[in-house]
């Protein structure tokens, strides 16, 4: 699961993620310059997901690996940071046999309360390398709620916004045919 720290510097982020009183942690921290730090062993639970669900299952902390990217959330992710993330994802995905659809955003599982890693994160870049999913063009215009549920999104009032944050950044307004086509392309291409 990918996050941004919401902080502008790595030292502050590390301090918070390692502070027991903060009650938040992650397995990995990737600095803007590409430095990658292991904070919690991958086979141990980290407290990065919080309340939410994915693919109908709660307690995502117990079944996920949290990667925090140092970024306040209002700027692009630097090349060296993205390259370090790609390298780390290749290793984690191989180690734990995680398919591309298993790489998700914090906002995917908690759409009512989270927006990270945000609209400036380059999901398409990861998808082109097989490290995440991206909808192929030409999906059918199927009911959006059914497609989003099949992908794994929880059913909340903010689910469309979370889907758009990842797959149609900058889109707004009521659902439209492009939302339905993209969601269907994702939902039914992994049968």
What the block records as the tokens of 182 is 């993209």
Rounded CA separation 191/188 (Å): 6
Would you call 136 a catalytic residue per the annotation?
A: no
First to last CA, the chain: 22
What is the maximum span of the chain, computed from C-alpha positions, in angstroms? 49
Which of 67, 75, 74 has the alpha carbon at shortest distance from 40? 67
- 3-state SS class at 54: strand
Sequence-distant (≥ 6) Cβ neighbours of residue 133 within 8 angstroms: 100, 101, 103, 127, 186, 190
Rounded distance between C-alpha atoms, residue 132 and residue 145, angstroms: 21
Instruction: Say which of 21, 32, 42, 68 is annotated catalytic.
Output: 68
Catalytic site residues? 68
């Amino acid at each position: 699961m990918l996050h941004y720290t919401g902080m502008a510097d790595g030292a502050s982020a590390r301090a918070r993620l390692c502070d027991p009183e903060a009650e938040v942690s992650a397995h990995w921290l990737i600095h803007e310059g590409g430095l990658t730090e292991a904070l919690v062993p991958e086979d141990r639970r980290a407290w990065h997901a919080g309340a939410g669900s994915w693919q109908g299952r709660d307690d995502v902390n117990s079944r996920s690996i949290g990667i925090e990217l140092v970024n306040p959330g209002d700027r692009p992710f630097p090349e060296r940071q993205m390259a370090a993330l790609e390298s780390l994802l290749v290793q984690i995905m191989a180690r734990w046999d995680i398919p591309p659809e298993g790489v998700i955003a914090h906002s995917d599982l908690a759409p009512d309360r989270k927006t990270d890693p945000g609209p400036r994160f380059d999901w398409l870049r990861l998808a082109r390398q097989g490290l995440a999913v991206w909808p192929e063009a030409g999906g059918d215009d199927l009911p959006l709620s059914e497609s989003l549920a099949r992908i794994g999104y929880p059913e909340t009032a903010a689910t469309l916004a979370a889907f758009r944050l990842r797959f149609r950044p900058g889109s707004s307004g009521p659902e439209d045919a492009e939302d339905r086509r993209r969601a269907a392309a994702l939902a039914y291409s992994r049968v």
